[in-house]
Amino acid sequence: MEVFESIFSWNYILSVSITGWCVAQVLKTLIDVILIGRFDPERLWGAGGMPSSHSSTVCAMTVACGRYVGVHSPVFAVAAVLAIIVMYDAMGVRRETGEQAKVLNRLLTTWMESGAENMPFLADKKLKEMVGHTPFEVLSGAVLGTVIGFAVPIV
């Protein structure tokens, strides 16, 4: 318990935010193991997947700000606006980037299979497809981050 208090008393808002990210990444990895049936260490730090660690992080930060400095403070306002932007971006631009990567990877694979011997340096190139989130993944991350923000006591 002393370790817990020393970690969160150092910088409460930052510590709660990092906790939101860590919990989401571990859950994402466990869910991936259950669904895929194998452990992929990249899931511990990678983007995309369920729940959204971006959403969890910014929602935990926003709740921590509200609890620590009050919901009428400029710090809370900045955190809330940042959370909205991050979650919108995760569902919009970043998700579309992942969808485009899927199409480009399929095109590249088809092109390489049909005899593009002149460009062997492209044979192992793949764009990252898991960069964005579905609305459900973002909502799940937001709920997780909100719960973490309220669950961690102010020290």
**6 and 60 share one domain:** yes
Which element (helix H / strand E) includes 141?
Answer: helix 135-151
Q: Is 27 a residue whose pLDDT tops 80?
A: yes
**34 and 104 share one domain:** no
**66 and 18 share one domain:** yes
Half-sphere CA count of 124, side-chain side, radius 13 A = 1
**74 and 13 share one domain:** yes
**82 and 13 share one domain:** yes
pLDDT band at 97 (very low <50, low <70, confident <90, very high): confident
**10 and 32 share one domain:** yes
pTM: 0.77
**70 and 106 share one domain:** no
Q: Is 70 a residue whose pLDDT tops 70?
A: yes
**11 and 86 share one domain:** yes
**By residue range, what is the domain housing residue 112?**
93-131
**81 and 123 share one domain:** no
Sign of CA dihedral 55, 58, 64, 66: negative
Number of domains in the chain: 2
Q: Is 116 a residue whose pLDDT tops 60?
A: no
**7 and 73 share one domain:** yes
pLDDT band at 152 (very low <50, low <70, confident <90, very high): very high
Of residues 138 and 96, which shows the higher confidence score?
Answer: 138
Reading the block at residue 96, the tokens are: 């579309």
**80 and 20 share one domain:** yes
- Note the pLDDT of residue 8: 72
